Amino acid sequence: MKKKVAVLPGDGIGQEVMNGALDVLKAVGDWFGHEFEVVQGDIGGVAIDLHGNPLPSETLELCKKSDAVLLGAVGGPKWKDVPVHLRPEKGLLEIRKELGLFANLRPVSTFESLLSASPLKRNVVEDVDFVLVRELTGGLYFGKPSERRGKNKEVAVDTLQYERSEIERVVHKAFQLASKRRKKLTSVDKANVLETSRMWREIVDEVSGSYPDIEVEHLLVDVAAMKLVYQPKQFDVIVTENMFGDILSDEASMLTGSLGMLPSASLREDGFGLYEPVHGSAPDIAGQDKANPLAMILSVAMMLRHSFGLKEEAEMIELAVQEVLNAGYRTGDLWNLGNGPVVGTKAMSQFVVERLEADHALSSILSAYL
C-alpha cells in the first residue's frame, strides 16, 4: 500500500512525541511492505513565527492532498499575547473545520499494568473500555458572534449554536460505532438548561429509531462527569457536543493513569481523518525528553485502522505498547506508583519499535512453520 501522510508536529512536546510516532510508522511500513510518504507542514505557534498565520494555506493544501494527517499539539506561553483570532489554537480549530472533521473519537481503555497509575481504585478502573465521540466542528467553539463589547469592552460574548444536520451526522456516527461494540449509547447534554441540548436530546431519540438494538441513555453533563470516575465501566459509547467532550475526555484520561495515554481520530464520512493525541503541547515539560509518546503512537494505530483499513498493523502497534508497559517501562507521568525504570520520550518510543520488531520476527518464524 502507498499512502501520503501530512505530518504537523506543532509546538512544545508535539515535535518530540511525533518523532517517536514516525519511527513506529516507518517500522510498520518497512515490515509490511507499505510505503508511507511523510510530508511535514507547520501549524500553531511555529506557523505564526514562520508564516504569520497559525494555519498557512500551504499546510491546508498539503493536508487536502494527503491520505491522512498526523498532528502533535499546538500552543504555549510564547504566543499568549497574540490576538485571539491568530492564536495557535485557532489553527487547530480551523484545520478541523476546513477538513470537515466533525466526529472526534477518543477511546478510553485502561491497561492492566497501569491500573495502579490511576488515582482511582483498581476495581473502578479495571476493564474500562469506552469511546467518547465528541462533536468537533460546531458549538461554542465556532458560534458567531464571539467578541468583547462595550466602550471599555467589559462584556464578552460567545455563542453556542448547533444546526440539526450537525447533530444528526455525529449522532449517526456514534450509533454506528455502538452497533459494532457493546450496543450502548450514552448521550451527554445539559437539556435542563440549554436549548441546543434540548434539540440534541430530541435528535438522539429520533435517530435511535434507526438503531433499535442500541440501548440509549441520556445523562446531564454534570452527572456524567461524576459517573466517569464513579462507575466508568458502564460506558460503551458516549456522544456529546464539542465543549463537553473536550472537558470530559481530559477527565477520562486519568482512568488510564495519564493524559499522555489518550489517542484520538477526527473523522468525516469518507474515512479521511486527522489523528492526534488528546493532550496539548505541555509547555512545563517541553524540550526535556519527558513527554509520554504513547498517545501519539496510539494515534498512528488509529490512522492505520480508520483511514487505511490496516487492522493487523494497528493491532501490532497496540500490542507493542501493551508489552512495553507490561515490561515496566514508564515515562515520568506514569511513574507515581510504578516499579520499573523511568524512561524518556526517545527511549519509550524506541522500546515500542523494538517490541514491534521482536513481535514481527516471531510472527514471521511462526508463519514459516505453520
Ligand X SMILES: NC(=O)c1ccc[n+]([C@@H]2O[C@H](COP(=O)([O-])OP(=O)(O)OC[C@H]3O[C@@H](n4cnc5c(N)ncnc54)[C@H](O)[C@@H]3O)[C@@H](O)[C@H]2O)c1
Ligand Y SMILES: CC(C)[C@H](C(=O)O)[C@@H](O)C(=O)O
Active site (catalytic) residues = 141, 190, 222, 246, 250
**Eight-class DSSP state of 223:** H
One-letter amino acid for residue 42 of the chain: D
**Eight-class DSSP state of 342:** B
Task: Give the nearer residue to ligand X in terms of CB position, either 185 or 290.
Answer: 290
Contact status: 241 vs Mg ion (CB under 5 A):
no
Burial 73-94 (b: 16+ CB within 10 A, else e): bbbbeebeeeeeeebbbbbbbb
User: CA 134, CA 150: separation in Å to the nearest integer?
Assistant: 34
CB 336 within 8 A of CB 8: no
CB 73 within 8 A of CB 299: no
Least distance to ligand Y, CB of residue 266, Å: 9
Residue ranges for the known binding site for NAD(+) are 76-89, 280-292
Contact status: 278 vs ligand Y (CB under 6 A):
yes
| Selected binder of ligand Y within 89, 166, 189, 241 (CB under 6 A) | 89
Residue 326, strand partner residues: none
**Which range binds ligand Y by CB under 6 A, 15-23, 88-96, 340-348, 361-369?**
88-96
Task: Give the nearer residue to Mg ion in terms of CB position, either 135 or 246.
Answer: 246
CA distances from 27 to 33, 198, 300 (A): 10, 48, 12
SS3 labels along 64-107: HCCCEEEEEECCCHHHCCCCHHHCHHHHHHHHHHHCCCCEEEEE
Q: Which spans of this chain sit near ligand X (rule: CB under 6 A)?
A: 13, 17, 73-76, 89, 92, 259-260, 276, 279-285, 291-292, 295, 333
C-alpha cell at 67: 491520505
| Selected binder of Mg ion within 246, 276, 313, 323 (CB under 5 A) | 246
Residue ranges for the known binding site are 76-89, 96, 106, 134, 222, 246, 250, 280-292
Contact status: 323 vs ligand Y (CB under 6 A):
no
Least distance to ligand X, CB of residue 88, Å: 6
**Which range binds ligand Y by CB under 6 A, 10-18, 85-93, 115-123, 216-224?**
85-93
Task: Give the nearer residue to Mg ion in terms of CB position, either 11 or 246.
Answer: 246
Contact status: 241 vs ligand Y (CB under 6 A):
no
Nearest by Cα to 214 from 169, 243, 176: 176
The C-alpha cell 506557523 sits at 47
- By a kind-dependent CB cut-off of 5 to 8 A, residue 285 interacts, out of Mg ion, ligand Y, ligand X, none, with ligand X
**Which range binds ligand Y by CB under 6 A, 86-94, 150-158, 160-168, 349-357?**
86-94
Task: Give the nearer residue to ligand Y in terms of CB position, either 75 or 332.
Answer: 75
Residue ranges for the known binding site for Mg(2+) are 222, 246, 250
User: CA 49, CA 153: separation in Å to the nearest integer?
Assistant: 28
Interface positions with ligand Y (CB under 6 A): 75, 89, 92-93, 246, 278, 280
Interface positions with Mg ion (CB under 5 A): 246
